Structure 1
């Protein structure tokens, strides 16, 4: 009987606690379950988005290989509109820009690259877009615009490529000393195993190598 009495006291205490805090516990549990359901649902949505974007990007690449520029541009636009949060949208913009360059439509290429440079979610893709856009501006003799484009911050791994492109723009303006300094920096920032170092060295040698100090 003593055990039954003790058990009844515990049950009474539990009922009293539940009457006081039961609703709060229930709402916390519901909120936790809702958050988990939302998180799993979002992950499933992201996987679905990525899968659809990959298929569309594959179609874009096929169109680019077939030199079907209108189809390339439609696919790139669809990627940006429907799957802008995925990497495929940025990749599609770069492929579309290359297709436009191959078709000698530099205006369209610049628009595609500017889109990636301005709205790309990943700094690496933005960097690639800016470098390629600066190359087009070099061909168009828009040297100051190219240098301005390269004046911002870039991921560290792009330091050599940015300095090299700056050297090209400066050399085109006959700013020999500044171009030499840019190529020297490019050489210093480019990995020893990178085959691009040879071309940078040739440019530097053509300017007489590093400028002596004193």
Structure 2
């Protein structure tokens, strides 16, 4: 399967964009790219998202296949990560820092169990390469490390996001010793000072 990759910024301006893409692009802009005062810090939920959207660095990729197992989705995500790393490897560090690929699973029936399992399988491999991923879905109950009352990973469609790791990721990995070790050994994929 070679799915069509869509640019989130262009999707936001396209009234004929598919629903999954339009919903995901609006989520990236309006939720990830907006301030959340309850976090107790200034700025947006994802500090890179507003600039990433302005510079057209957010890619949307649909995985529309129903009935895929965690093993199938793991294989698919590894391929998407490999392609993302190859493309981002040709960029300047400041561009690579802003680049992300949002893989949207439009036919996934039970996203919580499946995506969490896929992320669990793939994240160690990605961290060792200077990449990372997180899972997002409508009922995701992951909470902010700054304020445990704030859910931070709810999206309109089930998705896994691929991006370079940054020094900031140590905050999210501090309570996961094995992942933190891999992150420290590999180092961040892109220095956060490039933004």
Tell whether the structures are fold-level matches, with TM greater than 0.5.
no
TM normalised by structure 2 equals 0.26
Bigger share in helix: 1
- Which of structures 1 and 2 has the bigger CA Rg? 1
TM normalised by structure 1 equals 0.24
Bigger share in strand: 2
Instruction: Name the structure, 1 or 2, with higher relative contact order (CA <8 Å, separation 6+).
Output: 2
